[in-house]
A and B are shown apart, each in its own frame.
Chain A
């Protein structure tokens, strides 16, 4: 933890923040479009994923962390995605309502 050399520079975080705000407004505007369910969901979720990526990578400093942190984070998200996928191997083929 060498702190003395770092100086306070808000530029980076503010750029990231602006990108996040931009994406937020974009996703709100895009949700107004009439492009069918799957399309809308897909867009909303990919924008959300981008935003989450920005927060994780910059705000949560994954960019400065050793490889092992990135591997762990990937593992966690891959696990979650797998759970979704396999659960839907049931629901996609079964009418529940």
Chain B
């Protein structure tokens, strides 16, 4: 183990000219280093976005009639735009694939790296460049289009800057999103090829762990959907700089067409956000149950069908936009077909718990929290897919609550759980379980307290993207309940960062390869993994979640299990 230790990815170089320090990281083509870099970068932006979310909630503590104003009216649009652009384009869409996918996909399938390591590094640079460009752009010019960039508003808005600068911040932000898009596309291509070409010996498609399957499905969406939105965003930039009339009614254009093009990407994109987290949950649950995942094959196939059906339902965001009634009916009908594979997954997860041997470790808490939150998020999606109820709920706080439940309670809880799960493998250290459990407690309570009231608000008609609201006691009470929830949540977020930083600096060193006693391949390398992952190419002979066989291997000494320290 000494050799593995000295050549682990954290302290040895990977082919770049620089052998240590900062440069050896940002020029490294090692998938593990790239994963960690994505993680660090994302968190810096993410912190800003969380803060803004928190301030948005503060702003709604009292109605404007009371004289309460935390965010000046002119800034409100820029606030929720910055919040959502960071959360979506910089965090939750690239998040799980770029951080955990990069790090663990090659490990899970026994590969030495991704298929195109240099392209992988290029993706990271594109990401970094686009991210900085977007954030600086919004801050300097105060783009206020929301993350949906709906024309004609996005074409005509001459934004009011927070610092008084004159700056075409919308074009800037859209170009940034285009660049970010290329980063994700390249990552997607990389992962698809990695999965097709680089599985180790014996790793058939149906022997791949489920996280790899979910990354595979998500990657296809990234490759086939992102270009559509990329070019549509550039069309808006063109409209602003060189009016062609793509979406301009004064020239015979149709603003609703942009909404089609936008949602052609952005609906499938919500499955890019959720699928990898579903994959992580499919890893965490069997590990902490010490038992095979229930219905492995149907989960794998469900991942792909979610991605496929996800393409057919984009216009359910447009029931109230004035598109044809026929289209509304078709899209509503198709929307419901995405619920079926999702339901299959949920039932499979909970069935895995049956007759299991459950350890409530921190990752397990987050995984179960995911199942609960995501069920709420997904089930409220049913209200939105259904035509008449969507007409009422569209563009109200109900939608805001729906997508925070899916993206935050779902996708983000999955990612956080994944990080807690893989932390010891990534850094060879164990965080404090006490802190981690407290993190979960605050986050889960705070999250639900924050967003449940917003469902009710939405049902009573509170529109979204409102700087303030009419002075009605019902609204005020619910808004205040929700704001107080956000305070609890913020404690959770801060605790989360503390847990991780504390774990990195002071965590108990553990060279255990497999602290959770998990049956999948990525746990068989050293912790932290060595440069090219495996001392020799592993050969796979069994089902990834066959725990009986795994326990036998551990007994025989051919596989590494958890050891007492």
Contacts and interface: CB of A to CB of B under 8 A. Distances in A.
A–B contact with Cβ pairs below 8 Å: the answer is yes
A83 B254 contact: no
A96 B248 CA distance: 12
Given A89-B330, A91-B324, 11 more contacts: A68-B196, A79-B311, A82-B312, A83-B228, A86-B315, A87-B264, A89-B331, A90-B256, A93-B324, A94-B323, A94-B327
B254 A96 contact: yes
A14 interface: no
B312 to A, nearest CB: 7
B356 interface: no
B158 interface: no
Chain B interface, DSSP helix/strand/loop, else mixed: helix
Contacts of B264: 83, 87
B474 interface: no
B252 A89 contact: no
B311 A89 contact: no
B326 A89 contact: yes
A82 B324 CA distance: 18
B224 A90 contact: no
Which one of B228, B260, B327 has the highest number of Cβ atoms from chain A below 10 Å of its Cβ? B327
Contact of B327 (A82, A90, A96): A90
A49 interface: no
B312 A86 contact: yes
B204 to A, nearest CB: 15
8 contacts: A76-B224, A82-B312, A83-B228, A89-B324, A89-B330, A89-B331, A90-B323, A90-B327
Contacts of A93: 324-327
A90 B257 CA distance: 10
B325 A82 contact: no
B311 A90 contact: no
Q: How large is the interface on B (under 10, 10 to 19, 20 to 34, 35 or more residues)?
A: 20 to 34
Nearest to B334: A86
A89 B313 CA distance: 12
Contacts of B256: 90
B260 A87 contact: yes
Interface in A54-83: 68, 75-76, 79, 82-83
Contacts, number: 43
A42 interface: no
B219 to A, nearest CB: 12
Contacts of A68: 196
A97 interface: yes
Given A87-B260, A90-B260, A90-B324, A82 B311 contact: yes
B193 to A, nearest CB: 11
Nearest to A79: B224
A82 B77 CA distance: 35
Contacts of B324: 89-94
- Across chains A and B, which 4 residue pairs bring their CB atoms closest together, nearest first? A93-B324, A90-B327, A94-B324, A93-B326
A95 B311 CA distance: 25
B547 to A, nearest CB: 33
B196 A90 contact: no
Contacts of A75: 220, 224
Nearest to A93: B324
Interface of B: 196, 220, 224, 228, 252, 254, 256, 260, 264, 311-312, 314-315, 323-327, 330-331
B250 to A, nearest CB: 13
A68 B195 CA distance: 13
Nearest to B225: A79
A89 B314 CA distance: 12
A68 B193 CA distance: 11
Interface in A4-41: none
B230 to A, nearest CB: 14
A60 to B, nearest CB: 18
Contacts of B315: 86, 90
Nearest to B314: A86
A22 B324 CA distance: 41
Contacts of B224: 75-76, 79
Contacts of A89: 324, 326-327, 330-331
Contacts of B327: 86, 89-90, 93-94
A5 to B, nearest CB: 25
A60 B228 CA distance: 24
Contacts of A94: 323-324, 327
Contacts of B331: 86, 89
A12 B540 CA distance: 44
A64 to B, nearest CB: 18
Contacts of B330: 86, 89
A61 B129 CA distance: 37
Nearest to A80: B224
A77 to B, nearest CB: 11
A51 B32 CA distance: 45
Nearest to B326: A93
A94 B325 CA distance: 8
A94 B321 CA distance: 12
A68 B196 CA distance: 10
A90 B256 CA distance: 10
B553 to A, nearest CB: 32
Contacts of A90: 256, 260, 315, 323-324, 326-327
B361 to A, nearest CB: 39
Contacts of A86: 312, 314-315, 327, 330-331
A75 B355 CA distance: 41
A23 B31 CA distance: 48
A12 B326 CA distance: 48
A62 to B, nearest CB: 17
